[in-house]
Amino acid sequence: MMLLWLDSMRSYHTRWQWYPFTLVTGPTEFLKQDVQELNDPVVRTVTRRPLYVIAHRVLTIHGVKAALSQGANALEIDVTPWPSGWWADHDGSATSAGDTVEKMFQAIAEQRRAGENVIFVWLDIKSPNWCDPRQPKTRHCSVIALQEQARRILEPADVRVLYGFYGGAASGVGYDFICDDLDENEAINLNGEALQLEERFESSGISDLKQRVMSYGDNDLSLDFGNCYEAGYYTCTELRQASRSKMFGQVYGWTLAAGQKKYSDLLLGDAHVDGIIYGFRGTIFHDHKDTRAAFQDIKNWVDEHPKRRYLATAKDSPW
């Protein structure tokens, strides 16, 4: 086992990615592909494809209702283990937590049963190894407990779950457990550059491409966004190459904020992403003219290209 520390070497901002991987004697099928081939125009079927519009950093029940009322069809929730259990929490500080994960799941399930169009919940898991599932005293705040809550509350309501592991979180007992115990309602998300992520999914034993979800972006989407046709590294290019590779079931870009219509247009028209996270860059989701504006930029593109995309509904299965 070797450890790979990926330094993106940005001139004024660095995107750090850390992933363990197993050294292989030869390149994977995706790694054999020529970069130029990945930069060729993306060939897509003429069939209309569903688009997942994912509300960013939803940490409260109020945020759940606000996102769904705007038209979001999926929710990204940062989840952090505390001694008392799992909370919707991005920072893990004394005042950063929103509602408990159990209350969030219950509210989402209730909304789905009431007819709201919520397709999946994306759990951005912080500190997945903080509580050891093998120890009875800490099992309640382990990833096993998180998955059990999701299966007990969300799955019966037909809400799917995406387990997200960012950087160094994609290793250890928590990550390994989720990878080894996915059901058809669940998928794994890794964030980073396409070439490395394909190998990481392979070494993690995620053989079903439908359950591999690649994401790339930044809270400031404009940062090194690129023109979608560089050799690599830039946000739009990495997403475009991931879509082109056909080695991932879903490809998502993040985070679209108000006033960024040009990036929305490029993500949809050139990178051909399957979903976009939208909302505020650095605060919890709530109803506001800026979150509504970001959603509207996505919807406007879809409305202008009705033969190519439509907003996904609960009848669509992302994996």
Kindly list the distances between the CA atom of residue 103 and the CA atoms of 16, 217, 269, 285, in Å, as whole numbers in the listed order. 33, 29, 38, 17
Asked if residues 225 and 235 have their Cβ atoms less than 8 Å apart, the reply is: yes
- 56/76 Cα distance (integer angstroms): 5
Q: Is 312 helix (H, G, I), strand (E, B) or coil?
A: coil
Q: Could you tell me which of 202, 79, 92, 99 has the C-alpha nearest to residue 143?
A: 79
Nearest Cα to Cα of residue 268 among 253, 283, 289, 255: 253
Cα–Cα distance between 289 and 185 in angstroms, integer? 33
Q: In the chain, what's the furthest Cα-to-Cα distance?
A: 54
* Identified catalytic residue from 13, 56, 62, 288: 56
Report yes or no: 49 and 266 within 8 Å, Cβ to Cβ: no
In Å, how far are 76, 120, 162, 299 from 310, measured between CA atoms?
A: 20, 17, 21, 9
Q: Tokens standing for 136?
A: 């009875």
Q: Map tokens 């490395």 to a residue.
A: 196
Is 288 considered catalytic here? Answer: no
**Which positions are annotated as active-site residues?**
56
